[in-house]
Structure 1
Amino acid sequence: METKGFLCGPTDVLDGIAHRSESEARIDPRRYNYRMTVNLSTADERYVEKVRGLWVGSGMWDRDELVVE
């Protein structure tokens, strides 16, 4: 499995996410977008349709942890 994430938003919000300390308040997730894609691979033929699917997720940063839906 391989994942790639894309974080988009205003410069000040992205800087806040990248450089905040644990004591700072959580940045409102409505101020930025986080999307991710997932690539799956397997040799098991039972899962061929799952592997060929398009897997997209969204998430938010909660201090230093990425929470994915």
Structure 2
Amino acid sequence: MSAQRPEGPPVRPEIPVSGTQFTPCGPCHHLTLAEAEANAAYDWSKATDCRVLLKRHQATAECSARKPV
């Protein structure tokens, strides 16, 4: 017995989007871009350093975009 597939494009569930958006502070933005550039250059060590520095920065009171704890 063969299984029948529904015709037409697959149905994707709707993902609700909240009204608030994450707005990174300057250092967060800089470190995120630096990580992306390091990944694009296959510099995994530098990308890891950027992630560590970003986490450290977000743990300080200087970060205006900290995630609520």
TM-score of the pair, normalised by structure 2:
0.30
Larger radius of gyration: 2
Higher-helix-fraction structure:
2
Higher-strand-fraction structure:
1
